[in-house]
Structure 1
Amino acid sequence: MGMAITVFTVHEIKPGDRQTDGQKDRQRSGNINWASNPKLPEIYNYLKSVAAADSNSCTLKSIGKTAHRKDIMMLKLSNGNPSNEAFLVEAGLHGREWAAVLSVLYFIEHIAWNFTKQPDYIKNKDWYIIPVVNPEGYEYSMTKNRLWRKNRRTFSGPCDGVDLNRNFDTNWGTRDSSNNICAETFCGPQPFSEQETIAIRGVTQGSVIGPKLYLHQMFNSAFKAYVTLHISRADYYNTNNNTETEVEITSYS
């Protein structure tokens, strides 16, 4: 079957290039310090400032709460056209992947301000953006354990947390996952056992979402992007065997 793939090119942002027309006069109470990795409150304040600056195009809401009651925030960008194709963009499934979170915030920075003046291929789509799917894991990796991957759900056994990337129902309990509660790739007691994955399912079931882009981080600078399409098979495409870039195309329920 035929598939349409949209490629977005993200360029390095230089200090003098960030502001576009009209931005210099805008007051941003939730500005991000792009020179560092923002903490969760800083991220959420930034999202609030984006939504407040253009309430006609931007909507911010909590799509669920984690096991310990942290909000999972989603920013929706839309010009209100009912025929728009919907895109889901998310990062932070793994707590330690700070650069993936920051890259999604960069993306928001470039399209959210003056959204209605963006090119048609941006403004004529509905964007559902979740910068930090795993807020508890993200905070824990900043304050306790830099390499923490899973969420922070507590179990009665010796270890905590579920690998959210392996808690969806597609290929659950198989490919590169573990039933060992102490493993980094522990897939959870059952598919969608975690509040974070339940929240994502709620977004995809409640909206006509087309392409889905999941950003991951490998090492300090390379990214692994999971692009999920409604097809019946799973293929892997390595863009270059000498890089750490990979795109996974798989089904999603």
Structure 2
Amino acid sequence: MLIDSHCHLDFEALAADRPGVLARARAAGVTGIVTISTWVDKFAEISRIAEENEGVWCSVGTHPHNADQELHIQVADLVRLSEHPKCVAIGEAGLDYFYDNAPRKAQAEGFRRHIAAARETQLPLVIHSRSADEDMAAILEEETAKGAFPFVLHCFSSGAALARAGLALGGYLSFSGILTFRNAEEIREVAAFAPADRILVETDAPYLAPIPHRGQSNEPSFVRFTAEKLAEVRGVNLIEIAEQTTRNFARLFSKTGL
């Protein structure tokens, strides 16, 4: 049993064959999927996907790429929408200095609002962080000092320093198909030292398909390949990784009731 803790079933590459995508996931032993919000203003669409499919949940949040376009979204809006019975997380939100599609000030402002919503609801905050390790660690430390909130650094592709900072604050790390890439040795080193009770697996589909599917459109059924690599890196078998990451998911995403 595996859980894809982060994908985007509303994105065109998956929406075009959503029934097939979900059927292949079930056939591959993927029993749970979280489809992650990138626009709060499109929450009705993403929540409907979760409503219509057993074993699928959703989140509510604004991706940092879109931060400046959703500054009208307030903490109260996130909290209210998160009351939907199948909404199990806040986000994804965070900092992306690689693309810088939104002004950094807007990214930080939006991110802090999402943190406040996670703190109030105690739903896990799904964090996107790319090329922003120092600022991300600083914000997490500063905001945690105001009051703890659950979080996961999704699609972990940062340095060991941010991993250790996040873990020290009680966060989780989620590994994607990047873990299988040949040039991802630093991420594999993080995956090796992360505590067993703080690791998750995901696809971030339709992006970042793992080897042997790299270059193709990713989908939840491919999470198995990331789990296999995580097992190899940690010196355990696939069954143990599947069981451990599923337990971790159930603990962090407790609203799923797993």
Q: Give TM-score scaled by structure 1 length.
A: 0.28
Structure with more contact order per residue of length (Cα contacts < 8 Å, sep ≥ 6): 2
Compare the two structures and name the one with the higher helix fraction: 2
Q: Give TM-score scaled by structure 2 length.
A: 0.28
